[in-house]
Amino acid sequence: MKALKLSFLAVILSCSFYSCNGAKSENIIDDGKVPAPIEDKQIPIIYSSDLFHPPGDIDDHYDLVVLFMMQEFDIKALIFDISTASRQPNDIGLAALRQIASITNRPIPPYAVGLRQSLTSQDDRGEGQASQFQAGVELILTTLQESDEKVVLFLVGSCRDFAAAYNRDSTLLKEKVAAVYVNAGCGPDGEQNEWNVGLDRNAYLCLLKSDLPIYWCPCLTRGRLSSASKQEIESNSIYSYNTFFTIPNQAELVKTLPAKVQNLLIYAATSSSTDPIEYLVRTPGAFTTDIKGMWSIAPLVHAAGRKIYVKGNGNYFAYSPQEAQNLGIDNSKVDVFLFHTIRLSQTSPDGASHLPVLAGELDVAESSVQVFQYIYPDFNEAMVSVLANIMKTQTPSN
């Protein structure tokens, strides 16, 4: 991601919560409800990422660091999503995976490369694709089969491999999946003209229309895709149904991180081909000062069952409720985002040649789909701070 997204940055940033309408609250699902945060028990998760070396967009590297830094995740499997047609299968970001496992002193989880071609329909099982691209879906299915407990599915690229797994064995997924975090699209209705959707339109519609417990985390506000004026966007809460925020200056954030985490990011950003593990012990050089769009951090916080707390002036942390209690700051919790129930229907024709268009009815009594909304006035500031503080987490080896 995505030049498309950044080009609309100014519109996104112009949406102030203070001037947005209040959201209905009767059927709001409290954040943290699923999966249940159990303090001494890890949350099994299968993670699907279009993680490449060099990066297509380095947001996937930031996301990977956050995933591994949150010790409550038991990373059961990682799927290398190779749905980006311009990238080659041997471009996968294995170096970053090896690096973050080393930094956090965690094992490299089982991993596999996913399907190469778009699903031909919303119920395509992907079984007609070449055998070297079957391992990803097969790893998802075997991981679920072997799990004694429900597993979180979390995607930060296309929906392809999770959708194909669902199409192959919907019964298994319904039985074993605790939640599916779909970081894609433009909520809560209208044209779904967004990068991750475009990677596989049929797969996106498959997941959103499935009966799985979907946590829909749209990447773009609908305002970026409409002709709405700045004034209209600021006055309408419909534009806060997305996870997008920006790191204003990456160098300022990155220089505060452990040296090995800095080196992971620099290794990716400089397309280094040296040994990725040896590279971690370098003295880090400067990082780009460029602004960076980010998407999946708040959903990762939610999937981990953490809440957000403010300490001092503008310093935000994501802690488990128990950890916050131990630190004596549980009274400083701030509500940064929430999920609403939503009933979706597709109003566009079937087929990958059509841009998906959805109609969404918010706050219905019951639905398998919930949609993200940020509700905090300083959502951007809070998420940058949360991101930095998670990435600074000290682990046994860093």
- Which of 199/362 has CB closer to Ca ion? 199
Q: How far is the CB of 243 from Ca ion (least distance, A)?
A: 12
Alpha-carbon separation of residue 380 from 133, 293, 385, 397 (angstroms): 38, 10, 9, 30
CB of 98 to Ca ion, least distance (A): 19
Task: Closer to Ca ion by CB, 184 or 233: give it.
Answer: 184
Cα gap 322→330, rounded to integer Å: 8
List, in sequence order, the alpha helices (H) in 342-378.
none
Q: H or E segment at 69?
A: helix 59-69
Residues 163, 138, 100: CA angle, nearest 5 degrees: 90
Residue (9 or 277) nearer to Ca ion, CB:
9
Q: Is the dihedral of CA 307, 296, 24, 174 positive or negative?
A: negative
Dmax (CA) for the chain in angstroms is: 56
Pick 60 or 91: Cβ nearer Ca ion: 60
CB of 170 to Ca ion, least distance (A): 25
Shortest distance, position 169 Cβ to Ca ion, whole Å: 25
Min dist CB 295 to Ca ion, Å, is 8
Burial pattern 79-105, b for ≥16 Cβ within 10 A else e, equals bbbbbbeeeeeebbbbbbbbbbbbbbe
Question: Nearest approach, Cβ of 50 to Ca ion (angstroms)?
Answer: 5
**Residue owning tokens 């296309």:** 158
307-311 and 333-334 beta bridge pairing: antiparallel
Shortest reach from residue 43's CB to Ca ion, in Å: 21
Q: Pick between residue 60 and residue 161 the one whose CB is nearest to Ca ion.
A: 60
Give min distance, CB of 63 to Ca ion, in A.
7
Query: Applying CB under 5 A, which residues contact Ca ion?
Result: 50, 60, 156-157
Helix (H, G, I), strand (E, B) or coil at 19: helix
Cβ 356 vs Cβ 218: under 8 Å: no
Whose Cβ is closer to Ca ion: residue 58's or residue 69's? 58
H helices, E strands: number in the chain: 16, 18
As measured in angstroms, the least distance from the Cβ of 137 to Ca ion is 19
Contacts of 291 (CB under 8 A, 6+ apart): 6, 9, 246, 247, 248, 249, 250
Of 60 and 200, which has the nearer Cβ to Ca ion?
Answer: 60
Closest CA to 68 of 98, 34, 32: 98
Under 8 Å CB-to-CB from 217, ≥6 apart: which residues?
Answer: 181, 182, 183, 184, 243, 295, 296, 298, 299, 371, 372
Q: With respect to Ca ion, which residue has the nearer C-beta, 156 or 301?
A: 156
184 or 238: whose CB is closer to Ca ion? Answer: 184
